[in-house]
Amino acid sequence: MSFVIPAPKQPVLPIVGTGQTFPIHRIYCVGRNYADHAREMGHDPDREPPFFFQKNPDNVLLDDIFPYPDKSSNVHFEMELIVALKSGGADIPESQAEDHIYGYAVGLDMTRRDLQGEAKKLGRPWEVGKAFDHSAPCSPIRPKGQTGPINEGRIWLNVNGALRQDGNLNQMIWNIPETISYLAGLFTLAAGDLIMTGTPAGVGPVQKGDRLHGGVDGVGEIEIEIG
Ligand code: MN
């Protein structure tokens, strides 16, 4: 097999404590998955069906500088737990969802809120607000073999040393098995998929020079500077 152009580079995440990497297939993101964040965005957090959007695998940023993106003057942070799948399929029952998890990471769903807001108002897709270059700063993955199933634990984010987001994974409206099962009804999931599971309340804008430091207890931490 020969390609007519150079093959795209395979995006990867490192695995904690090893030289090995995890090849990324797709990135699914859950919208408004914490009630207090749904409220702060002006929505009713009643248990409506979950909804999803995607980022591109090559939006992952492993560098510690997040370049402030063009075409926006209102870029928000959203601290999230990331689930990494080692296998997939369609129509996965909740009772089998945990079997597909390779491990967990933490990441930021960086959002051009002004462009996303305009898209919402006009009924247009969210890609310009969500799936731009470097929009997914991520930590290395910690294998589930080390953590066990993660369904609770503190999720937090400091901006310039001040606590801005402070929640618990057990506040998710749709928990991880439910999310995997629901997603698998809409898409055939596969080894290499990442799921960004939503953000707790406290999201806000960043400025150049800000330092963001966040984490999920038992999983890992991430630290970036806005460049
Ligand atoms: Mn998000």
Token couple for 35: 């009630």
Answer yes or no: is 107 within a domain.
yes
Q: Which of 189, 30, 179, 29 lies closest to 94 in space, CA to CA?
A: 179
User: Over pLDDT 90: what percentage of the chain?
Assistant: 93
Rounded to whole angstroms, what are the CA distances from 33 to 39, 46, 51, 178, 217? 11, 11, 9, 12, 19
Answer yes or no: is 6 within a domain.
no
CA 101 to ligand 1 centroid distance, Å? 20
Token couple for 10: 């395979």
CA distance linking residue 176 with residue 199, whole number of Å: 13
Mean pLDDT of all residues in the chain?
A: 96
Work out the number of other CB atoms within 10 angstroms of the CB of residue 152.
14
CA 44 to ligand 1 centroid distance, Å? 17
CA 76 to ligand 1 centroid distance, Å? 10
CA distance linking residue 36 with residue 33, whole number of Å: 9
DSSP, collapsed to helix, strand or coil, labels residue 147 as helix
Return the pLDDT at 80: 98
Answer yes or no: is 204 within a domain.
yes
Answer yes or no: is 1 within a domain.
no
**Would the pLDDT of 147 be above 90?**
yes
CA 52 to ligand 1 centroid distance, Å? 10
Do residues 20 and 187 lie in contact, with contact meaning Cβ atoms separated by under 8 Å?
no
Answer yes or no: is 180 within a domain.
yes
Q: Is the pTM of this model over 0.95?
A: yes
**Would the pLDDT of 22 be above 80?**
yes
Answer yes or no: is 7 within a domain.
no
**Would the pLDDT of 41 be above 90?**
no
Backbone φ, ψ for residue 53 (5° rounding): -140, 175
CA 102 to ligand 1 centroid distance, Å? 21
User: Over pLDDT 70: what percentage of the chain?
Assistant: 100
CA 92 to ligand 1 centroid distance, Å? 23
**Domain residue limits at 221:** 12-226
Report the CATH number that the domain containing residue 130 is assigned in CATH. 3.90.850.10
**Would the pLDDT of 37 be above 90?**
no
Q: Give the model confidence (pLDDT) of 183-219 as tens digits.
A: 999 999 999 999 999 999 999 999 999 999 999 999 9
CA distance linking residue 193 with residue 86, whole number of Å: 8
CA 31 to ligand 1 centroid distance, Å? 6
Q: Give the model confidence (pLDDT) of 91-119 as tens digits.
A: 999 999 999 999 999 999 999 999 999 99
Rounded to whole angstroms, what are the CA distances from 82 to 46, 197, 199? 23, 6, 11
Answer yes or no: is 89 within a domain.
yes
The total number of structural domains in the chain stands at 1
Mean pLDDT of 131-149: 98
CA 178 to ligand 1 centroid distance, Å? 17
Token couple for 206: 């960043």
What own/partner pairs with CB < 8 Å and gap ≥ 24 does 12-20 have?
Answer: 13/60, 13/62, 13/84, 13/105, 13/138, 13/140, 13/141, 13/194, 14/62, 14/140, 14/141, 15/103, 15/140, 15/141, 15/142, 15/143, 16/140, 16/141, 16/142, 16/143, 16/146, 16/220
**Would the pLDDT of 47 be above 80?**
no
Q: Give the model confidence (pLDDT) of 58-90 as tens digits.
A: 999 999 999 999 999 999 999 999 999 999 999
Nearby residues for ligand 1 (ion, Cβ within 5 Å): 78, 109, 199
Answer yes or no: is 43 within a domain.
yes
Rounded to whole angstroms, what are the CA distances from 187 to 28, 62, 105, 179, 184? 10, 27, 22, 12, 5
Mean pLDDT of 28-55: 89
